[in-house]
A and B are shown apart, each in its own frame.
Chain A
């Protein structure tokens, strides 16, 4: 089976600074993968390159076998990207926004209409469907953007800090939705600073530092690599960063 995402020697430089430095990464279909790292580690840059928002300086990005650099349109058709600060159209109502997003991905109108209603109901936004999104709170905006990511039924969703601004109930709802989506055979890649989310949801975790993959594996594998047997992900994460994880792990499983 083709991997959901494959990065081969991916590099992005800003002048002399390498934000992403010869990064190799492989995420299989049906995985819930968490990409962790300190501020400035290159997480967002990596995700933006996968989503086609930044051009890599060198080598390959493959989304479900499609070359995202040279055939970006085919790759983008299969994925959804949710940035950390979701930008919506203030003068559109939720259903109008979802209609627009579904149209961009060429989703069948009848399917999109049914999915949009279902998503708004599940995310507790149906009651405010008559409001312009400019009146929404940060959490409501985040949920609507998530609905936008789901409405075109992507096979791979990449999310940058998806739970920022959500209250406990909404965060739980989103986590459940993402979990269910992965169980259906789809793939989720997310970045987060809330390590508890990665610990509870992610099948595999990658730790990025200075643009390179410092360590990768299941929580148990990372515990062994860090020598923090039985430790929390926080302890493992800090230990791996401190030690610089002498040798980055081999990509893939």
Chain B
């Protein structure tokens, strides 16, 4: 079998998997709108850049902008490449067939690597194509260098991602490796968010001051430094393009040669295999109270999900500082201060956690037939599942309001808004809860709830912002805004109730 045929097989599977998720018209329309806005914003910038190019050559600022672009692309590619590697190595069921065929395993691995790199590359095109189109239209054809630069970047990053994934499998076994990979991709996503917030958080002036010694003439990151060769490739600088592509090809070849054996061994380990000895025998005290049994079972399942725990902690670590820094004690904001930051953190973070826990507890219920065939009242089971999802964010975030109380700041109303917002999110999520396979939800990071109704998801998002508005109105003691937000929330809940019953997204047992 030719390598090209193998690669086509690889890409066809990827495409069908992608197409299988369905064509989401509103989402496509939203993306098109976003791209049009990007187009309108970039046009004058590029026109200005063309003038500078015409007079002074490659400007210093362009190098740094391109470096920033490169950084974002690198993080995005790393995130996507780890996911693509995991899918290519473990999720697709065709490796047994390919490895038992007369094809050399090295070729299979190389094709998987290139296939994953192509997927990541194609994923970036949604932004890169309009970007390069504007560049050509305004007379900056040198920016077409972004294509070979990105091809090299995705190939290099995918090689490293595959190396990382397979080494992990050898070290800790496929199941733990999968969890660790999910945590790493979560961290990378968080890093993308933090990097995008960096200028705002530190202040553009502070950032420039801190970088000054590095970018001064003769410094390691000065514009003329050889270290910028991957960035110069974006501007179609021939030696830089050749060096970047050469480096990526070298890395991909080295990875393929080094990983051949690990690939064959790692990919043949079943995902159900466990390397751990059975944990110590812990006595189980049988209880008779249905409420404690259901809560206990839900929390056991949640606490034993390392991916969920890592995500929750990441949210806690990221969202709270970002909100405190943005809304914190800053002069000039109509409503600000630490109380507003705490109220908003409570609303956003608490709702996010409660929503995720409802999805896990209700939409991904693993034994719905057991619950439905039991004599336990279904409405009680649902109420207990909601309680199981609400108690963790309440316990996790209430201490923040306790600190406000200790500091003598107003806390009762913001805390009540936080409690109500999480309960509201849990309820709205319950109304938007078609069954989802838990393996599907966690194995490929599809925490976007593929079975959710788009209309209800929009209502959920709108309600979240209405709760945020209510929190700020409460902190600012603005009665008209409190009334408006409360009215909006009532309407949104009524609409969600009607919609959920119309489209049948309420899950019961």
What is A's interface to B at a CB cutoff of 8 Å?
Answer: 51-53, 73-74, 76-77, 79-81, 83, 87-93, 95-96, 99-110, 112-113, 116, 128-132, 134-135, 137, 148
Contact = CB atoms under 8 A, between A and B. Distances in A.
Interface residues of B, number: 34
A87 B372 CA distance: 13
Nearest to B371: A104
Nearest to A74: B375
11 contacts: A76-B373, A81-B373, A91-B304, A92-B297, A95-B284, A104-B290, A104-B376, A109-B285, A132-B304, A135-B272, A148-B370
Given A90-B438, A131-B278, A73 B370 contact: no
Given A130-B278, A130-B280, A53 B367 contact: no
Contact of A96 (B290, B297, B305, B370): B297
A81 B290 CA distance: 20
Contacts of A90: 366, 438
Contacts of B272: 134-135, 137
A99 B281 CA distance: 16
Nearest to B277: A130
A59 B222 CA distance: 84
A130 B278 CA distance: 6
A108 B368 CA distance: 23
Interface in B448-502: none
A53 B297 contact: no
A73 B300 contact: no
A92 B301 contact: yes
Contact of B367 (A77, A80, A88): A88
Given A87-B366, A87-B368, A103 B284 contact: no
Given A53-B369, A92-B300, A99-B287, A106 B278 contact: no
A87 B289 CA distance: 23
Given A91-B304, A96-B297, A134-B272, A104 B282 contact: no
A102 B286 contact: yes
Given A51-B373, A76-B375, A89 B367 contact: yes
Contacts of A131: 274, 278-279
Interface in B260-303: 272, 274, 278-282, 284-290, 293-294, 297, 300-301
B377 interface: yes
Contacts of A107: 288
Nearest to B376: A104
B406 to A, nearest CB: 37
A87 B366 CA distance: 6
Contacts of A134: 272
Contacts of B274: 131, 135
Contacts of B371: 104
B24 interface: no
Interface string B62-84: 00000000000000000000000
Contact of A52 (B290, B297, B305, B372): B372
Q: Which 10 A-B pairs have the closest CB atoms?
A: A103-B293, A109-B286, A104-B374, A130-B278, A91-B304, A95-B284, A113-B286, A77-B375, A51-B373, A87-B367
A101 B370 contact: yes
A73 B377 contact: yes
A81 to B, nearest CB: 5
Contacts of B301: 89, 91-92
Given A88-B367, A100-B293, A103-B293, A53 B300 contact: no
A76 B300 CA distance: 26
Interface of B: 272, 274, 278-282, 284-290, 293-294, 297, 300-301, 304-305, 366-377, 438
Contacts of B373: 51-53, 76, 79-81
B287 A109 contact: yes
B297 A100 contact: yes
A108 B375 contact: no
A103 B370 contact: no
Nearest to B297: A100
Among A73, A77, A104, max chain B CB count under 10 A is at A104
Contacts of B281: 129-130
Contacts of A130: 278-282
A88 B366 contact: yes
A215 to B, nearest CB: 29
Given A104-B370, A105-B374, A113-B284, 5 more contacts: A77-B375, A79-B373, A83-B369, A107-B288, A109-B286
B288 A108 contact: yes
A125 to B, nearest CB: 12
A191 to B, nearest CB: 15
B425 to A, nearest CB: 24
Given A83-B369, A90-B438, A130-B278, A110 B375 contact: no
A128 B276 CA distance: 13
A104 to B, nearest CB: 4
Contacts of A76: 373-375
A94 to B, nearest CB: 9
B145 to A, nearest CB: 48
Contacts of A81: 369, 373
Nearest to B305: A91
Contacts of A128: 278
A103 B289 CA distance: 7
Contacts of B280: 130
B288 to A, nearest CB: 5
A106 B375 contact: yes
A130 B277 CA distance: 9
B341 to A, nearest CB: 35
Contacts of B375: 73-74, 76-77, 104-106
A112 B286 contact: yes
Nearest to B509: A53
A91 to B, nearest CB: 4
Contacts of A74: 375
B179 to A, nearest CB: 12
Among B289, B290, B366, max chain A CB count under 10 A is at B366
A110 B284 CA distance: 11
Contacts of A113: 284-286
A109 to B, nearest CB: 4
A178 to B, nearest CB: 18
Contacts of A51: 369, 372-373
Contacts of B282: 130
A91 B438 CA distance: 11
B369 A87 contact: yes
A107 B272 CA distance: 33
Among B281, B294, B305, B367, max chain A CB count under 10 A is at B367
Contacts of A77: 375
A74 B281 CA distance: 36
Nearest to A76: B375
B36 to A, nearest CB: 44
A10 to B, nearest CB: 17
A113 B366 CA distance: 23
